[in-house]
Structure 1
Amino acid sequence: MTGQSFGYIRVSTLDQNTIRQLDGEPLDRVFTDHASGKDQNRPQLEALMDFARDGDTVLVHSMDRLARNLDDLRAIVRRLTEKKVQVRFVKENLAFTGDDTAMSTFLLSVMGELAEFERALLRERQREGITLAKKAGVYKGRGKMLNAEQAAALIRRAAAGEAKAALAREFGVSRQTIYQYIRPNP
């Protein structure tokens, strides 16, 4: 008896297209996360890893869709293959079963390291671009989350002792944003 085939799709933003990743692959079920690859909190990946059983196959478009660093990639593949689940990367044309050869283990490491390197280069280029844009006076950063009236109310209520988490929920911002507004300016 053969198991089922599951797809795992990850996109970083809601407006990114998920269709191209496993288009044409016969799948019994697809698990899709809208999260950064560096994010450990991916509910659909966790659901997939809990759901997959001995004999199943998990298809992923490419290694960087599963993880953005080598340690996470190895851990996820290991966790699945220990359950006797095959992990197949379509773009790289590689499959892992847990009974892998030294060469396939090496390829997982090399390809995973390349994905991590690519991510580091992307961050570096982004930082360089922001620095150049700031020098040219073009980059202004992200806009304020709250208008002046909201900010004044927030500061007043926080000073009165209201819980930061409750304020964050009410104003629709993170707790970190709350702290940025109430932190005295040097």
Structure 2
Amino acid sequence: MPKVIKPKATPKTDRHPKGQRVGYVRVSSLDQNEHRQLEGMDLDKTFLDKASGKDVKRSQLTAMLDFVREGDSVFCHSMDRLGRNLGDLRNLVDLMTERGISVHFLKEGLTFTGEDAPMANLMLSVMGAVAQFERDLIRERQREGIELAKRAGAYKGRKRKFSPERAAELSRRLAEGEEKASLAREFGVNRATVYRYLGWAAAETASRAKKPRSAKRGRSSSGA
């Protein structure tokens, strides 16, 4: 059973007026545009996570659950922005509606209040399950395609986004201690890409360091 984050008790002095319109936005990486999801909506407060939706361990999701109270409305662009698997999605919707908070999914045109008709609950389960199935199917096809390409000798791994010069600049600035998040924004990539280039740079440095020693051993052997 997927684990859902339980909201913390909020002191009464910090409680906001009832009826707040609250937005929740999630993007998977730094280079995705979060502004398109709830563009043009009149919201009192918006919570933004730049994180994977593979589970519910997201700082702003937790903050949003702590913030909302009975009578509030939560708006999400689509179901997969709130949860990427059916169990998490169902539990999060139930958690909020049981507290008197309505949940709205704009893309699907669905609203949940806790007093929903059986058909609405069925739609949530079916659409959430279909979305999860499609994601699993895409991942399976990707794995199968990579395996076939490897067997044919055509798979060369992930294509690098930078020229050698840009990669060298990134490696140099990382070595000088610049923050990875700021470099990711400047270079137009996510932090995972920065970490990959850091690993590639370290591997290439180690490879270059080994070559002279091998050459010296070769010359010594031939001289003997």
TM-score greater than 0.5 by the shorter chain: yes
Output one character per residue of 1:24-63: Cα deviation in whole Å (capped at 9) or x when no partner.
1111111111111113311111111111011110000011
C-alpha deviation, 1:90, in angstroms = 0.2
Q: Any unmatched runs of 5+ in structure 2? A: 1-16, 159-195, 208-224
Query: Given the two structures, how large is their TM-score scaled by the length of structure 1?
Result: 0.74
Aligned: 1:116 with 2:132: yes
- TM-score by length of structure 2 reads 0.62
Unpaired segments ≥5 residues, structure 1 = 152-186
Q: In the TM superposition, what is the alpha-carbon distance from 1:141 to its structure 2 partner?
A: 3.8
Say which of 200, 203, 222 aligns to 1:147. Answer: 203
Aligned residues of 2:48 and 2:60 also touching (Cα < 8 A): yes
Corresponding residue pairs, total: 151
SS at match of 2:126: helix
Q: Cα offset for 1:10?
A: 0.9
Greater helix share, 1 or 2? Answer: 2
1:87 partnered with 2:143: no
Matches within 5 A, 1:1-186: 3-141=19-157, 145=199, 146-147=202-203
Corresponding residue number in structure 1 for 2:182? none
Per-residue deviation, 1:148? 6.5
Name the CA shift for 1:141/1:103 in 2 (closer, same or farther; >3 Å).
same
- Checking the alignment, whether the CA contact within 8 Å between 2:26 and 2:48 is kept in structure 1 is yes
Specify the SS of the correspondent of 2:107. Answer: coil
Kept in 1: contact 2:47–2:60 (CA 8 A) = yes
Rg larger for? 2
TM superposition shift of 1:75:
0.4
Identity %: 57
